[in-house]
Structure 1
Amino acid sequence: MILASIGTFVAALDVVVVSTALPTLQEDLNASLSDLEWTINAYNLAFGALMLTGAALGDRFGRRRMYIVGLGVFTAASAACALATTSDGLIAARVVQGVGAAVVLPLTLTLISDAFPTEKRGMAIGIWGGITGLGVGTGPVVGGAIVEGIAWQWIFWINVPVGVVAMVLSGLLLRESRGPRPQLDLVGLPLVIAGLFALTWAPVRAPSEGWDSVEVIGSLVVGAALLSAFLGWERRAHHPMLPLEYFRRRGFSTANGVIFCQFISLIGSLFMISQFFQIGMGYQPFEAGLRILVWTGMPLLFAPVAGALADRFGNRPFMISGLLLQGIGLGWLAAVSELGVGFGTLVAPLVIAGIGIAFCFPTVANAVVAAVPVNDSGVAAGTNNALREVGGVFGVAILAAVFTANGSYASPEAFIDGFKAAEWVAAGVALLGLVAAFLAPSKAEESLPHPGDPTPRADTAKPVAA
């Protein structure tokens, strides 16, 4: 549990740790708005496009082995980020960092699912969600403190000793396991990578090229075509990366819909809020990160509780209430944000939105893993995390586009005009996810066996160090 959680923590941390450094990077590297978006999107692009690949490699070559390899790639890329002297160099290193994270993150959930029996898995995944929340929550604070107290490069250097220690201990303490597929899907693998890449390239390029540009529309069309080809191939592949019958299971499909909408809202908001505290309110990076903690720190407090209660009451109530609270909180934030607003006015909406995030984190992961046989936990986690990261890329692009259409960086007042519009959209997307949440199975339905699953459905894996 501890070693898997280290991988979860560093992968989640680096989604957001750059956020409070954006204004500093803008000055130090002479970065444009597009460059700033790329420092986040480059990581998320590789992360999302390769998530299913990471799970497949773990199934084929060994989960412990690939977990260590992923940590190694992530650690080396973190050092490259720290050594970057141009925005292009930083963006390139962030791509490689995302590749490492794409191998690490789905395997953390597989290791945890393998280590805990079904009746305790909700609590374990709740702790996993809390640690994910800790990474998200401390990212802006850590980033702000380091940028203000040392230098922005150290937000990446701190990953190096953590990664090295985790690699050594994982090699010594984790047991090896493999998934049910003896061969890699050599046709499906490039199709899904290229399809997800093309699909996420479109929102990344949209702010600079326009949503109606040939490049963006073409990228969306190519991405959709490649993913359609991937799904067509998976129907007849002997060892499919993603058994398509899982999408007929409400627990699987609804959890993926929830996480996609939630992360459009969450990561897009993080991109905007971290700048709002500095540009719109005048705080220094560390001051901004500390204040963001009232929002992003909530998963650390509430995700373990939600995960444990979901074992008793089911996942659906927490997915519904989580998205509702996230939407209400972000809408309230948009309503009260204005020039000269005090931080105290923002605390309540940020806390409410943060509790909503905390309710969704563990219950979505628990729902998607519970919907498939235990041996396919990595596939379920990879699919869910891929949609999560793709949602994050779309979130940054969509909210940046809304911001640009309604405001600018010309003055704090102009920034707030764009920020308010962007946050109203973020609130709306979170509430849109309620459609999927309401369609999720109830607690009684979650416990029913699925046709074709092994019997008995409850896993018999013995707890091991994970």
Structure 2
Amino acid sequence: MSVMPHSRRWIALAVICLAQFMLILDVTVVNVALPDMAADLRLDRTTLTWAVTAYTLCFGGLMLLGGRLADAFGARRTLLTGLVLFTAASLVTGLAASAPLLLGGRMAQGVGAALLSPSALSLVTTLFHGAERNKALGVWAAIGGTGSAAGVLLGGALTDGPGWRWIFYVNVPVGLAVLAALPTLVPASARRPARLDLPGALLVTGGTGALIYGLVQAGDTGWASRFALLPLIGAAVLYGAFAAVERAGRAPLMDLRMFTRRPVVAGAFLMLIATALLLSAFFLGSVYLQHVRGYSAFETGLLFLPVAVGTAFGAHLGSRLVGQLGSRPVAVTGMVLTAVGCVPLARLDGGTSVYAAVLPGLAVASVGIGAVFVTAMATALAMVDPHESGLAGGVVNTFHEVGGSIGVAVVSTVAAAGIDRGESGGFADAFTLAAVTAAVGALVALGLVPRGKPEMTGVAHAH
């Protein structure tokens, strides 16, 4: 790719980040609108859970394939293809008059995001070099925190205003604007022959889908029912087939040898737990505040703003402390802080004070989760050989999306009674599980996360 003028590069970065911003927005913007969506389309708990997880499932399951497609067909071409699909899917989802159309649109959004996100990051790393690249990656990393914060506010404002459908419609003009601007700012790159591991992508996505289906069904039919057990067994079979395909393939989607690298395993574990806990908090908190306590969507969005800000603050603080103290103490402290924040939430009842217990608990937990996020990426990327950092980043980012899907499915099952009947007990049980998970995560991190201080320069944490 030819060298672009300085000002044009930064304008291109702004446009690329705008596209990425939409993807991050759609992870959290839906949570605040869930009760209104359920009432309008008559969605049960299972479908409501899939409205969140269908997007992150396809996003995470196909992200590595999206990166390979960007290498094979060019990053700009793949990004534009993903953007067209994401924009069209957003329109379809907004127009949905039934659960199948809603979930189909969310899945198509996830496929578009899986094409767009790795291509966008590839363009950023290609357009910038040296010190400028570190600054550009810093801007890219900041999109994650601001997207989450904007998602809860925008979701609440749009749901209480023109209606929940506008949380999807708003993507359409933004997507069209980026489609018009990007080809004039970024030149096309040459195609490079590459093998595509489509079977691997389908197996890992299908395995995760079966896992989520089994987890969600357990909330309705019990863990011992065939409706839960058969999908869970199917997930294990599909994951095993995925591992076999990856070991035998000449160009595997995921190099399983990366899981012999302790920093990568540690980073993937931390990212899985942190994302599961964060999206679970958004899901549970949104439904609890609106369905049980009677808050409006906009009020719920405002109440979640400290959570989004706390996550960004925790990530900023964690990035500084990791360089000073090392990965292990920051990861363990972040998990402990998350567990402490979940304790008052584990005691929810109809009279629990939102401002004295719920909001402070969520805010404290979010600071810990933010610190774990940045520690996960720093450990995986900065503690392996430089030539392996791209593979390590792909593995950890995949666990980022998949972790969110699994987390929401699990807490939805545990809180099933509370969600169905509007009672606090189920939510308290789910937050108890979150507290225990964070505490166990701290113990595992104590033994799993390597000692030492990773070099943070140029490390971009998960989107």
Pairing partner for 1:442 from 438, 443, 451: 451
Asked if structure 2 preserves the Cα contact closer than 8 Å seen for 1:81 and 1:156, the reply is: yes
Match of 1:427 in 2: 435
Match of 1:11 in 2: 23
The answer to whether the aligner puts 1:134 opposite 2:146 as a matched pair is yes
Using the alignment, how far apart are the partners of 1:303 and 1:175 within structure 2? 34
Pairing partner for 1:410 from 413, 421, 429: 421
Per the TM alignment, residue 305 of structure 1 is displaced from its structure 2 partner at its CA by: 4.6
> So what's the TM-score if we normalise by structure 1?
0.85
Match of 1:161 in 2: 173
Give the 3 Å change call, closer, same or farther, for CA 308–178 of structure 1 in structure 2.
farther
Using the alignment, how far apart are the partners of 2:102 and 2:316 within structure 1? 35
Match of 1:388 in 2: 400
Question: Superposition pairs for residues 178-217 of structure 1, below 5 Å?
Answer: 182-217=194-229
Pairing partner for 1:223 from 217, 229, 235: 235
How many matched pairs? 445
Match of 1:243 in 2: 255
Using the alignment, how far apart are the partners of 1:175 and 1:367 within structure 2? 34
Asked if structure 1 preserves the Cα contact closer than 8 Å seen for 2:275 and 2:400, the reply is: yes
CA distances 1:51-93 after superposition (whole Å, capped 9, x unpaired): 2222222222222321222122111111111111222211111
Question: Superposition pairs for residues 116-155 of structure 1, below 5 Å?
Answer: 127-155=139-167
Using the alignment, how far apart are the partners of 2:440 and 2:368 within structure 1? 14
Asked if structure 1 preserves the Cα contact closer than 8 Å seen for 2:216 and 2:413, the reply is: no
Per the TM alignment, residue 285 of structure 1 is displaced from its structure 2 partner at its CA by: 0.9
Give the 3 Å change call, closer, same or farther, for CA 273–233 of structure 1 in structure 2.
same
For structure 1, the 5+ residue unaligned runs are 448-457, 460-466
Give the 3 Å change call, closer, same or farther, for CA 63–366 of structure 1 in structure 2.
farther
Using the alignment, how far apart are the partners of 2:59 and 2:129 within structure 1? 29
Using the alignment, how far apart are the partners of 2:391 and 2:338 within structure 1? 28
> So what's the TM-score if we normalise by structure 2?
0.85
Which amino acid in structure 1 is aligned with residue 225 of structure 2? S
Match of 1:451 in 2: none
Asked if structure 1 preserves the Cα contact closer than 8 Å seen for 2:204 and 2:238, the reply is: yes
Which amino acid in structure 1 is aligned with residue 295 of structure 2? Y
Per the TM alignment, residue 160 of structure 1 is displaced from its structure 2 partner at its CA by: 1.3
Question: Superposition pairs for residues 297-446 of structure 1, below 5 Å?
Answer: 297-307=309-319, 310-311=322-323, 313-335=325-347, 338-339=350-351, 341-370=353-382, 379-404=391-416, 407=418, 409-411=420-422, 415-438=423-446, 439-444=448-453, 446=454
Which amino acid in structure 1 is aligned with residue 426 of structure 2? G
Asked if structure 2 preserves the Cα contact closer than 8 Å seen for 1:264 and 1:395, the reply is: yes
Asked if structure 2 preserves the Cα contact closer than 8 Å seen for 1:180 and 1:376, the reply is: no
For structure 2, the 5+ residue unaligned runs are 1-12, 459-463
Give the 3 Å change call, closer, same or farther, for CA 159–211 of structure 1 in structure 2.
same
Which amino acid in structure 2 is aligned with residue 426 of structure 1? A
Per the TM alignment, residue 193 of structure 1 is displaced from its structure 2 partner at its CA by: 3.6
The answer to which of 173-182 and 2-11 deviates more is: 173-182
The answer to which of 119-128 and 66-75 deviates more is: 119-128
Using the alignment, how far apart are the partners of 1:8 and 1:328 within structure 2? 32
Using the alignment, how far apart are the partners of 2:270 and 2:399 within structure 1? 10
Asked if structure 2 preserves the Cα contact closer than 8 Å seen for 1:255 and 1:437, the reply is: no
Give the 3 Å change call, closer, same or farther, for CA 182–408 of structure 1 in structure 2.
closer
Asked if structure 2 preserves the Cα contact closer than 8 Å seen for 1:319 and 1:363, the reply is: yes
SS of the aligned residue for 1:297 comes to: helix
Per the TM alignment, residue 110 of structure 1 is displaced from its structure 2 partner at its CA by: 4.2
Match of 1:56 in 2: 68
Using the alignment, how far apart are the partners of 1:328 and 1:66 within structure 2? 43
Give the 3 Å change call, closer, same or farther, for CA 309–287 of structure 1 in structure 2.
same
Asked if structure 2 preserves the Cα contact closer than 8 Å seen for 1:113 and 1:374, the reply is: no
RMSD: 3.1
Using the alignment, how far apart are the partners of 1:178 and 1:354 within structure 2? 42
Using the alignment, how far apart are the partners of 2:177 and 2:86 within structure 1? 13
The answer to which of 12-21 and 329-338 deviates more is: 329-338
Report percent identity of matched pairs. 34
Per the TM alignment, residue 127 of structure 1 is displaced from its structure 2 partner at its CA by: 4.6
Which amino acid in structure 2 is aligned with residue 191 of structure 1? L
Match of 1:453 in 2: none
Using the alignment, how far apart are the partners of 1:119 and 1:425 within structure 2? 43
Match of 1:464 in 2: none
Give the 3 Å change call, closer, same or farther, for CA 201–113 of structure 1 in structure 2.
farther
Pairing partner for 2:45 from 27, 33, 47: 33
Match of 2:287 in 1: 275
SS of the aligned residue for 2:295 comes to: coil
Asked if structure 1 preserves the Cα contact closer than 8 Å seen for 2:216 and 2:410, the reply is: no
Per the TM alignment, residue 392 of structure 1 is displaced from its structure 2 partner at its CA by: 1.8
Match of 2:296 in 1: 284
Match of 2:87 in 1: 75
Give the 3 Å change call, closer, same or farther, for CA 210–339 of structure 1 in structure 2.
same
Asked if structure 2 preserves the Cα contact closer than 8 Å seen for 1:122 and 1:362, the reply is: no
SS of the aligned residue for 1:235 comes to: helix
Per the TM alignment, residue 290 of structure 1 is displaced from its structure 2 partner at its CA by: 0.4
Using the alignment, how far apart are the partners of 2:190 and 2:36 within structure 1? 44
